[in-house]
Amino acid sequence: MKNIHISKIYTVVYIEPLSSDVKRAVYGKALLHNELIFKLSGDSFTSFNRKKLHNTPNSIRILPQSDNIEYYVDFIEPGACIDIYFDTVEALDDEAYIIDVTNNLKFKELFFKIYRLWTRKQNGYYNQCLSLLYEIFGEIEKTRYNLSSKTKQLEKGVEYLSENALSQEIDYLKPAAICNVCPTYFRRKFKIIFGISPSQYVRKIRIDYAKELLMLNQYSVSEIAAMTGYENVYYFSRIFKEITGMSPAEFRKKA
């Protein structure tokens, strides 16, 4: 999951079980806001742009905002859920997905907490709800990460890359050694899971951090190069432009 920047929460609702006579609910041709649903009870199937999602208790469903969709739910057993409608600065991934969070009791607590805060609307409720929504997405990211046995195999190596990404002394052979696999196997599996190579993963962390430092407007480009693991400022500038399409100086002016 890419980083999510929430621009607005529209509402948080508790959906009561529908009548057992209702077999299908059709939700029109557009979803105006992103929808995050925690399934409390019941059993149903969601069809979203021809993708089938099986909604069981303690599952979380994420549906991206879309102007042209096929969206309906077929009910097997009536049930309740908590829905959060929200917008993001950058569009979510186009594809809807669902995850089983049965083994993480924290989700139920977080969803009920955000629902209670939203409906009571006491002083400071909105910022509290915003914080809780970010916490929910943090838990989702951890859960999706942990669900992958392939990722689990590489977990310690990925941790090494993340923790040492800004170091000029990073050793790209060490992650494989930590995971007790050969470097070729580690690189191949890493690319299958993350879609990029270990070096590209590190480079992304470095350039994302460089962007933050450039926007602060407190450090020179040479200082930022060193702070993000680049010994040579010219090499840093070349990599930065290759990824962003702008030189560090141009990015700073635009920001």
Read off the pLDDT of residues 56-71 as tens digits, 9 standing for 90 and up: 999 999 999 988 788 8
| Beta bridge mates, 85 | 11, 35
Question: Looking only at Cα atoms, what is the longest distance across the chain?
Answer: 69
Choose among 115, 14, 27: nearest CA to 63.
27
Tokens of 44: 């149903």
Q: What parts of the chain have a pLDDT lower than 50? A: none
Q: Which three-class secondary structure state does DSSP give residue 195?
A: coil
What is the C-alpha separation between 73 and 65, in angstroms, rounded?
17
pLDDT digit string, tens, across residues 178-197:
999 999 999 998 888 778 89
Task: Tell me which amino acid residue 210 is.
Answer: A
| Contact between residue 75 and residue 40 where contact means Cβ atoms under 8 Å apart | no
Looking at residue 198, what is its pLDDT? 94
Looking at residue 122, what is its pLDDT? 95
Looking at residue 1, what is its pLDDT? 57
| Beta bridge mates, 60 | 38, 99
pTM, whole model, 2 decimals?
A: 0.60
